[in-house]
Structure 1
């Protein structure tokens, strides 16, 4: 069986959860006897592909230079179609949302839908943001759709009126973060802290976490709030902090690689995940795998991932966020319970299992 993954996401993402997922899926598939896997990305900027097994990649890595993004994307898309036709695949997995298929082979086309964030939270995106419309086009023409959570499947059924037989839920895996011996104290000093990871704008609800942290004299007096992510604190975020009476020594941003993130998880008193919506949510699994207690929202797919291994709050209620964090941090027994539950919970999610369940659908469609 020959499977092709198209170039879309690899011409757009240098790093990112979607390209990591596709790479992990292809890598696992390539180990199955009788399965021939190719990621057809004639020109790409993706670091995961750059480091992947060359046997599963057709294409070349190019540097991402200013004002070249559209050119790279267009050239890769044009080449992807002709290259894939010569390969004569049995099935094509489209890696993101497009109005028309890049690989126009007369074989089953499948798609993964990660979330319905643009549809649920349109105010978090500009009026000209095209993803929702492109997603609708891709969904309508796909022969089968993978959803990364039951929550995504329910949203897709509700918003696009799709028959359930066209949908399959396949939970994601996660990658063990590198542990290099780096200590959190080197990054943020010795004082205790709670940890926030990833995006902070809009539905990610970082402002709700800031308000909850500031509302508790006990929290803000005994713990710092460390934010890990690519972007430094914005002027708006610093303005909100000032308005809440929080100083730059209380709320700290740290960027960098996975070795730093692993050190911060291991050193944190707890990991707090205040997002109002997630299609899946890998950070809680990363935290649990490194014995960091998880305190998180009770909405969307998050309870599916975290299960009984987290302390939950209502992300729309500041008092709820504050109370849940205080409840965990004021109880060493509860923290230890969450750590023990988390160690077992994260074992349920692996790329191997994700690939096995995905391949079963491929084989059924390609018969």
Structure 2
């Protein structure tokens, strides 16, 4: 009998968790470690902030998914891996042994700019933060216009700005004053067509972009830029990009430039072949990948095959990241921006397409459908 451990119960492990009965039938034991009984789908997080979804509509009941299939679920936070003793060490001190390990430990938003004991400051991960922020926005906007600042200049900043605006507008006609703080060009990595659609959307809502100086410090009630200008805020979001889990930097294994687990074309640790990984927590050595959920989804079937093959001593399959992927931003209020193959458009149709794809993904796993059904459009 082999001991398979899944560290993390996120997007890249969905098909592995579904395959637990087959892995057990092969004579192995499966243990899944997760920080919560549920896993929130990050692609629908901004929609939860804006009021398009409730928390239970964008989450997977991973504990029950695992246990109903015969696996063991351990509630805990992974802090380190000992690849020599083949142990996963949890924050509470528990040690979980493995023969084969797959890691889907996600990413985090750096908080180095935040002062200690900040209140009403929310990082965009974990996703649950966005629902807490929604509640607070609506509390304040019921009494007066709420001032909302977003630190960042990428897709997360765009989606949070639009949905925070929608949350305030939904609660009260007093609405919100929303500002995005980006030191460089807003959405600088995206085509002009996408950027122009985003700017049009933001301008129509009165959302301001503050450029020219990076954020130096965030504290309760305000944002200070490197040029020493200060902006008072009621709610602040940290959307400055994400970094891979710190677990691998704390463990004796090869990591990439960003601190992620360095894996080869088989999604296999270069230094420890019995360890695999997917999603935001890896550094894909053949070609660095964007931190977008589509790659975690595409990695699912390869992880299933390779983890099972490693347990059985069979050959592995290579992961092909694929070409262009569909990109849709949820800009709040039932609107979105879509881009693929040079085609870009905004408005309600873009949101409808995203909503359809996201709900299909949620439904596919919550209903325990047995056959893989990853949308081809991705």
More helix by share: 1
More strand by share: 2
Higher relative contact order (CA 8 A, sep 6+): 2
Taking structure 2 as the reference length, what is the TM-score of the superposition? 0.31
